[in-house]
Structure 1
Amino acid sequence: MRKIILNLAGILVLASALAQNTLNPDERKRAIAHLKETENNLVSLTRGLSEQQLNFKEDDTAWSIAECVEHIAISEKNLIGMIQMSLKEDSDPSKRSEVQMTDDQILGLIESREQKVKTRTEFEPTNSFGSYAETMKTFRERRKANLQFVKSTREDLRNHYLQFPFGLIDSYQGILFMSGHTRRHTDQIKEIMSSEGFPN
């Protein structure tokens, strides 16, 4: 009987430890809400735009709205891929001190349009989906899958990490970065729509 009690105690301790390494309810709720909000804003803003509006460019170096949305759709896959790769490594609480930015700072950094950054080649739009409708469909499918991951994951996202040019972030912050990235380019789309010469 004593052996059974000890085994049960061990199971409870293990379960408690595992629970502590998963997202807390507020973290999960925040990420889900932000992912839903940025998706809805993008879809609402671009709904009903004509082909001329979707493909309008201020100049030869600028992206069109269609290209911005394609970039978001590509990033949705690439960024979650980076997060999934980070989870293949062992969790490492000892590296927490190397994460210098808060969640709010991560969102502030990626959402700000003040500093322009040239994207990496694998994130560049190349009409890879064939049409704007297919591009938006792909983005929404990927966002749905990523939302489901955030809703259900039991992974220790806080003790897995991603290395970015601006520093080390944890994998939960990688989720916020992905969502904030959508807002960044939604704001870019607003800039395009307010530019001189944008088709009515």
Structure 2
Amino acid sequence: MKIIFTFLMTLFLISPALAQQELTEEERSMAIAELENTRDMLEESTAGLSPAQLNFKSSEEAWSIAECVEHLAISEKAFGEMIKGALNTPADPSKRAEIKMTDGELLAMIRDRSGKVKTSEPFEPSGKFGTYQETLGVLMGTRSMHIAFVDETREDLRNRYGQLPFGTIDGLQIVLFMSGHTERHVKQIMEIKESEGYPSE
């Protein structure tokens, strides 16, 4: 009886640690580096552009650089809400079997622009944040909050989940997808800058 009691007490004491799995330092550093690197890529790709350059469209259907930035600002906020939603559910290690992509595979998929995807209406640019500079400020401010969150959180992100059209991803993968999504559109911005007719100034 004493042995059973000791076992149950031990299980009770260690179960919170099993249920709450913090990010490893490697995971935390990797995610922060991803967010910072893609933020810097975006800043570098848009620095010093004139209104004519920001608003140039290679065709009527194409987005301008300013519209790419607005789409990123909208998406960044949406990814933040997805993370909040994941944190409002209990950590559940049993659902990890639903995740079909490694971190590397997920990043490679979202960064790849060989397959173009039309965005859904809520994520289309409409000028909702005001001027270009105001929109960029929204994006950069939200990104700063996400970097701070990853740096400080002690939540179990690996055992909480989000749903995307291609399947289930874990909480940290939401962060990585958000970063890779930024890189995807930086590539689009570079394509716009190389388009025929793009203003030289």
Question: Normalization by structure 1: what TM-score?
Answer: 0.91
Amino acid at match of 1:190: M
Task: State how 1:19-58 maps to structure 2 within 5 Å.
Answer: 21-58=21-58
Equivalent residue number for residue 64 of structure 1 = 64
Same amino acid, percent of matched pairs: 50
- 1:128 Cα deviation (Å)? 1.0
Distance in 2 (CA, whole Å) between partners of 1:198 and 1:11 is 65
Distance in 2 (CA, whole Å) between partners of 1:62 and 1:103 is 30
2:165 counterpart of 1:165: yes
Equivalent residue number for residue 149 of structure 1 = 149
Aligned residues: 193
Distance in 2 (CA, whole Å) between partners of 1:12 and 1:31 is 31
Distance in 2 (CA, whole Å) between partners of 1:143 and 1:66 is 17
Amino acid at match of 1:173: Q
Q: Helix, strand or coil for the counterpart of 1:162?
A: strand
Amino acid at match of 1:25: E
Q: Helix, strand or coil for the counterpart of 1:125?
A: coil
Equivalent residue number for residue 122 of structure 1 = 122
- 1:17 Cα deviation (Å)? 3.6
Q: Helix, strand or coil for the counterpart of 1:158?
A: coil
Structure 1: segments with no counterpart, 5+ residues? 1-5
Distance in 2 (CA, whole Å) between partners of 1:63 and 1:140 is 20
- 1:80 Cα deviation (Å)? 1.2
Structure 2: segments with no counterpart, 5+ residues? 1-5
CA RMSD in angstroms, aligned pairs only: 1.8
Distance in 1 (CA, whole Å) between partners of 2:80 and 2:66 is 22
Q: Helix, strand or coil for the counterpart of 1:96?
A: helix
Equivalent residue number for residue 13 of structure 1 = 14
Distance in 1 (CA, whole Å) between partners of 2:37 and 2:55 is 25
Moved over 6 A (4+): 9-12
Distance in 2 (CA, whole Å) between partners of 1:75 and 1:88 is 20
Amino acid at match of 2:82: M
Equivalent residue number for residue 3 of structure 1 = none
2:74 counterpart of 1:111: no
Q: Deviations over 1:20-68 (max 9, x none)?
A: x010000000000010000011011101000000000011100000000
Question: Normalization by structure 2: what TM-score?
Answer: 0.91
Amino acid at match of 2:123: F
2:19–2:91: 8 Å Cα contact kept in structure 1? Answer: no
